[in-house]
Structure 1
Amino acid sequence: MAAVEKKVTAATAATFVGSTALLAGLQAVQDHAELVSWMPSALAPFALAVVPTAITFVSGWAARHSPRGV
């Protein structure tokens, strides 16, 4: 079985940490709806989905490829 590339591991770890921070932030503002009330409710799920997606993209792009034997 092939080893998992470092890029995949980095992207996975960064998404986990970023999503955990995002969920903690959402929980912190849960009782303070005025902090996020400016965002249309139909847009909110898409805006929240952008955060882990961006974290995955940036961390995967920044991590080095694992060397491959030819």
Structure 2
Amino acid sequence: MHGAPIEHSTPPVEAKVKWAAFGSYIGSTAALAVLQAVDADHSLIAFWPDWLEAITIPLLPTGIAAVLGFRAKHTPRPDLPESQR
């Protein structure tokens, strides 16, 4: 009635996840650098409304992570049956 159980190996971390994490780190570092520069010179973002500053700064790491994760290729999984790839 039931087929033999499918055994799966421990999958490697996909390249997409690695690149998205790297992009998030780089974006966060860049956002921190901007925040430190702004702390020293508020005229760099003084022309933005406060609500726009709060929305824009977190978008930098999010955007970088999304682009790098989208552009990276999937990690192949030859250990899975063809129907599950």
Check whether TM > 0.5: yes
Q: Tell me how far 1:10 sits from its aligned partner.
A: 0.7
Flag the structure with more relative contact order, 1 or 2, with Cα contacts below 8 A and sequence separation at least 6.
1
Within 2, Cα distance between the matches of 1:44 and 1:53?
A: 15
CA distance in 2, matches of 1:47, 1:28: 16
How far residue 17 of structure 1 moved from its aligned partner, in angstroms, is 1.4
Find 2:27's aligned residue among 18, 27, 33.
Answer: 18
Which entry has the higher C-alpha Rg, 1 or 2?
A: 2
Q: Which amino acid aligns with 1:46?
A: I
Query: Matched residues in 2 for 1:64 and 1:37: separation?
Result: 40
Gaps of 5+ in 2: 1-9
Matching of residue 36 in structure 1 with residue 45 in structure 2: yes
Q: Where does structure 1 lack aligned partners over 5 or more consecutive residues? A: none
CA-based RMSD of the aligned residues comes to: 1.2
Pairing 1:43-58 to 2, within 5 Å after superposition: 43-58=52-67
How many residue pairs align between the two structures?
70
